[in-house]
Amino acid sequence: MEANDLIYVAGHRGMVGSAIKRRLETLGYQRIITRSSGTLDLRNPAAVDEFFAAEKPAYVFLAAAKVGGIHANNTYRAEFLYDNLMIAANVIHAAYKHNVTKLQFLGSSCIYPRMAPQPIKESFLLTGVLEQTNEPYAIAKIAGIKLCEAYRDQYGCNFISVMPTNLFGIGDNYHPENAHVLPALIRRFHEAKVNHKPSVTVWGTGMPKREFLFADDLADACVYLMQHYNEKEPVNIGIGEDLTIRQLAEYIREVVCYEGDIIFDDSKPDGTPRKLMDVSKLHRLGWKHSISLKEGLVMAYRDFLQQDQFKLQS
């Protein structure tokens, strides 16, 4: 990519898309196109085709998606499958039709089998049963990966796919029911602190292990791969280390300065027992993360407090 190339960041208002946009701007890319979902419905094929025909972007970061935690994924199963299928199909097809130079599709670590060997290699895709609670979202993301591969095979399109691990960071979703585990815990511990509650309840046993990557690190990796990677196979993006949800809760309690107890509700689902990405391929390509989990948690909590509805009570 050159500084004056026209770049479309799909999903620029989300945590990932906004981080990619910030990274591009920091690096001096001057012509970045964005559209809000209210202006451009990526589920509408005619609207997407019209947008690509008019704007003619050279590069596309496909970070738009309907996302959420276990509760949201398991409750809105049809929406998660339909919306994400349509977004992927419409944008990828329009990119082919309107001669986009290169497209990057962002998948998710949930595409891998529930009981995949750890750490999870890119080659483990479609080798086992998916986690039931987020199966619709995973299937939509797998379809996006396969679309990129199919358009490459049939038409020679330079479409690549990247698979981020669990993400958190600036602009995260802190919805009390639909958020992912890390932002949900930040909100829960903060509210317990300001309301002087004696304990915080965490879903599940606390034993599942998860890997977390700060969104700005992901954005740096995405731009790096857009510049340096041109192959068919997906690339995992993560840090290559994980921790238990119990350990994560302790870290967040420390960052928030909450002094109460932590209670684990084992009547709630744990989700996949472990999801640790094998990032050896990414490291061989020359990229490694730079923001530690604790550094990221401090920045994420600071961002959380800047949102008006979550400011500390005096």
Q: Give the residue with greater pLDDT, 184 vs 312.
A: 184
* pLDDT reported for residue 309: 58
Residue 62 in contact with residue 92, Cβ under 8 Å?
Answer: yes
Which of 222, 210, 240 is CA-nearest to residue 63?
A: 222
Each residue's pLDDT tens digit, 113-152: 989 999 999 999 999 999 888 899 999 999 999 999 999 9
Confidence of residue 68 (pLDDT cuts 50, 70, 90): confident
Q: What average pLDDT score do residues 181-186 get?
A: 92
Each residue's pLDDT tens digit, 206-218: 999 999 999 999 9
Q: Which residues does the annotation place in the binding site?
A: 11-17, 106-109, 141, 164-167, 180, 188, 203, 210, 270
Q: What average pLDDT score do residues 296-306 get?
A: 95
Each residue's pLDDT tens digit, 235-281: 999 999 999 999 999 999 999 999 999 999 999 888 778 889 999 99
Each residue's pLDDT tens digit, 105-116: 999 998 999 899
49, burial (CB in 10 Å: exposed 0-12, middle 13-18, buried 19+): middle
Q: How far apart are alpha carbons 190 and 197 in whole angstroms?
A: 10
Q: What residue ranges define each of the domains in the chain, with the CATH number in brackets?
A: 6-168+213-237 (3.40.50.720), 181-208+242-275+292-308 (3.90.25.10)
Q: Which residues does the annotation place in the binding site for substrate?
A: 188, 203, 210, 270
Average pLDDT along the chain: 94
Residue of 137, 151, 229, 301 marked catalytic: 137
DSSP bridge pairs for 286: none
Each residue's pLDDT tens digit, 156-168: 999 999 999 999 9
Percentage, residues of the chain above pLDDT 70: 97
* pLDDT reported for residue 313: 44
Residue 214 in contact with residue 291, Cβ under 8 Å?
Answer: yes
Residue 176 has pLDDT above 80, yes or no: no
* pLDDT reported for residue 308: 58
Q: Which residues does the annotation place in the binding site for NADP(+)?
A: 11-17, 106-109, 141, 164-167, 180
Q: How far apart are alpha carbons 107 and 113 in whole angstroms?
A: 14
Residue 85 in contact with residue 44, Cβ under 8 Å?
Answer: no
137 is catalytic: yes
Residue 69 has pLDDT above 90, yes or no: no
Q: What average pLDDT score do residues 303-313 get?
A: 69
Which of 75, 153, 65 is CA-nearest to residue 111?
A: 65
65, burial (CB in 10 Å: exposed 0-12, middle 13-18, buried 19+): buried
